[in-house]
Amino acid sequence: RPADLPPGPGPALPLLGHLHLLDKDPRPKFREWRRQYGDVFSLYMGGQLVVVLNGYHVIKEALVKQADVFTIRPSMFITDYITRNRGIAFASGPAWKEQRKVCLEILRSLGMGRASLADKVQQEVGQFVQAVTALQGRPTDLTDLIGVSTSNNICAMVFGRRFRYDDPEFTRYLYLITENFKLLRATNLMNFIPLLRYLPGDLFNTEKVLSNVREMHDSFLKPQIQQHVDEADDTEQDDFITSYIRQIQQRRQHGNTVTSVNEESMLWVVSDLFVAGTETTSTALRWALLYFIHYPDVQEWCYKQISEVITTHRPPSMHDRPELTHVEATVMEVLRKADIAAMSIHHGVAHDAMLRGYRIPEGSVVVPFLDSVLNDEEVWGDPQNFRPQRFIGPQGQIVKREEFIPMSIGRRVCLGESFARMQLFLYFATVIQRFRFLPASGELPPMEGVMGLNHVPKPYLIRAVPRVFE
């Protein structure tokens, strides 16, 4: 490692680099290396130099203060192979900029984070409550139900419709997403060890991942889009696809030929919203229920406020959000402690850069290690504890800390942040109002998660016992 690069673990092995030192869950090793080498350290994954950014100040210095340099995605074999700079999440340059701008405009016009969309989410939460009530407190793994329900919120926004919980086709597409989130961790190795690409067969599941993407696009997204195209002229429909089609038409009418806003981009953007919005939000909700059964006092702390502020006669709405501070604080603590996007999405550098006196060469992969901020002792004091009260100030108000960055910061900050936060608030408030969550047996399920692309809880059974209102 040249002397001006960030320090890191000793000699790298040929082909593997430092990969042999990393477990399936690299977080403990990264925490150890931060203590040893400081807030900016580097390692080789295969032949690829990876620079890991730790702590709020370093991540902000890179992603915000040097945004012109650190906003791009690195060129990686797998993502280049699959997305080819289409969509948002893995695109860079002018196409990413234009897609992100158009998407944000549309999402804002649809009311992301505001009342109109909230009504639809509230209706979906109502359906979810009905389905959970029907279980009559029986021990159940709620993963699939949560998956379909949270995904329905994206569907309401993007397609203007929802799907039944027992729709086998829709459940199949959600399964494909979950499978890809799991498979991509192994597939990722191909990014770092080019030799693996030449092995016969599909040992690292690249073809499987690609065929899952194709199936989702061809059998699900394209027909949904086509239906919107067919009905575009005579529809009052108020959803993402209809708005995007209008954006395409406007550009055509103005003779704009250099734009990336076209039918192909629409497919990839819709795919990104669907994939990024489904898996993450449902994971957060699954973590939440697990925390609820481990911390019954937190459930009661929220329930007491809900029953005082809005009683139990009507479901909570977004208007209650400012007053339901205990629920809001619990959403924040789940997002902090669950570490869902611990490694964020990889960033790159547009050209050689300097950070904290170290050179970050063009071609590096940059990991904003969000875990290092969300679990920083200097910021939180007792990060290991699940304690929503840390977000409540002396006057009972919500404390907003700039270090609270579960969805990253800078120009790439999660596009669905306010939508996700709105959904989580409505689910948490409503299910706590309606149920008491208990473990399936005397033994509590483990809190350790599994690292794929996201940090997800292991499957567990839970009892949702309807509360009896007097």
* Residue numbers at the binding site for ligand HEM (CB under 6 A): 88-89, 100, 272-273, 276-277, 280-281, 284, 340-341, 344-345, 368, 406-408, 412-416, 419-420
Q: How far is the CB of 11 from ligand HEM (least distance, A)?
A: 31
Q: How far is the CB of 180 from ligand HEM (least distance, A)?
A: 15
Question: Residue number with the shortest CB distance to ligand HEM?
Answer: 416
Q: Are strands 462-466 and 40-45 parallel, antiparallel or unpaired?
A: unpaired
- In the block, tokens 């939508």 appear at 419
Q: How far is the CB of 162 from ligand HEM (least distance, A)?
A: 15
d(CA 158, CA 227): 13
Of 248 and 341, nearer to ligand HEM (C-beta) is 341
E strands present in 241-350: 347-348
For 332-378, what is the HEC assignment? HHHHHHHCCCCCCCCEECCCCEEECCEEECCCCEEEECCHHHHCCHH
Q: How far is the CB of 185 from ligand HEM (least distance, A)?
A: 16
Report the residue count for the chain.
Answer: 470
> First-to-last CA distance in the chain?
69
Of 77 and 427, nearer to ligand HEM (C-beta) is 427
Q: How far is the CB of 176 from ligand HEM (least distance, A)?
A: 18
Q: How far is the CB of 69 from ligand HEM (least distance, A)?
A: 14
User: Is 103 annotated as ligand-binding?
Assistant: no
Of 243 and 408, nearer to ligand HEM (C-beta) is 408
d(CA 365, CA 346): 6
d(CA 425, CA 329): 10
Q: CA-based diameter of the chain, in Å?
A: 71
Of 310 and 420, nearer to ligand HEM (C-beta) is 420
Residue 122 corresponds to which amino acid?
Q
Of 125 and 193, nearer to ligand HEM (C-beta) is 125
Q: Are strands 40-45 and 48-53 parallel, antiparallel or unpaired?
A: antiparallel
Please enumerate in sequence order all residues whose Cβ is within 8 A of that of 199, keeping only pairs 6 or more positions apart, or say none: none
Of 128 and 419, nearer to ligand HEM (C-beta) is 419
Q: Can you say which residues are annotated as belonging to the binding site? A: 414
Q: Give the residue ranges of the annotated binding site for heme.
A: 414
